[in-house]
Amino acid sequence: MSARQLSEACEKRGVKLPRSVLANLESGRRPYVSVAEWLALAAALGVPPSVLLFPVGRGKPAEVPPSGPQDPLNAISWLSGLALYPHDESVTDLGDVELFQVHRVLIDRRPSQRDWAENEKDTAMYRIWEGAVQLARQQLRTVRAIMRDRGLIPPQVPQELAEIDVGGQE
């Protein structure tokens, strides 16, 4: 994409970025962009904004002040709330956003597993599936308890999982 095309694409998204500004950004003469410019550039280029900061798959570390070079994927995880600050050795727990994502996975994957297993009730695979369901339910209880301990409000669960919160938790 040419600088002119990129400038026009950003302007279509409501952010005026003249070609001269793009040239100054590219050369390093302008070392910053506003949040609006960053988001417009990402949209115009068709990439997630985080990739403009931390170039995943480019073979070089991302600079994450003040900790220095980081794996770009770790830096993106931090930026998006999926992990805590890179190299914070004292923190081993999941970040808040990651808790909600794990919660979603535990809820979303359950129906397809259940649909598969309903056709296999008398098999060893069904018994394995039943064990997996119990484990997933326990993991869901644990994730929801951590959320509450942090003062977060857990999302609602489907009616068939209402017993997850039995005991006055909700």
Same domain, 85 and 101: no
Contact 97, 112 (CB under 8 A): no
Contact 126, 117 (CB under 8 A): yes
Distance (Å, whole) CA 125 – CA 80? 37
Domain for residue 118, yes or no?
Answer: yes
Same domain, 37 and 78: no
Domain for residue 51, yes or no?
Answer: no
Domain for residue 75, yes or no?
Answer: yes
Domain for residue 131, yes or no?
Answer: yes
pLDDT tens for the chain, residues 1 to 170: 899 999 999 999 999 999 999 999 999 999 999 999 999 999 999 988 988 888 877 778 888 877 788 878 777 777 766 555 655 543 336 677 777 887 887 787 664 555 555 666 667 766 666 676 777 778 788 888 888 988 989 998 888 888 888 654 44
Same domain, 31 and 82: no
Distance (Å, whole) CA 86 – CA 74? 7
Same domain, 2 and 39: yes
Our count of domains for the chain comes to 3
Q: In this predicted structure, what is the pLDDT of residue 79?
A: 77
Mark 83-106 as b/e (b = at least 16 C-beta within 10 Å).
bbebeeeeeeebbbebbbbbbeeb
Same domain, 114 and 152: yes
Domain for residue 170, yes or no?
Answer: no
Q: In this predicted structure, what is the pLDDT of residue 45?
A: 93
Question: Smallest Cα–Cα separation from 40: which of 20, 65, 16?
Answer: 16
Domain for residue 153, yes or no?
Answer: yes
Domain for residue 100, yes or no?
Answer: yes
Q: In this predicted structure, what is the pLDDT of residue 30?
A: 93
Same domain, 115 and 66: no
Residue-range definition of the domain harbouring residue 144: 96-165
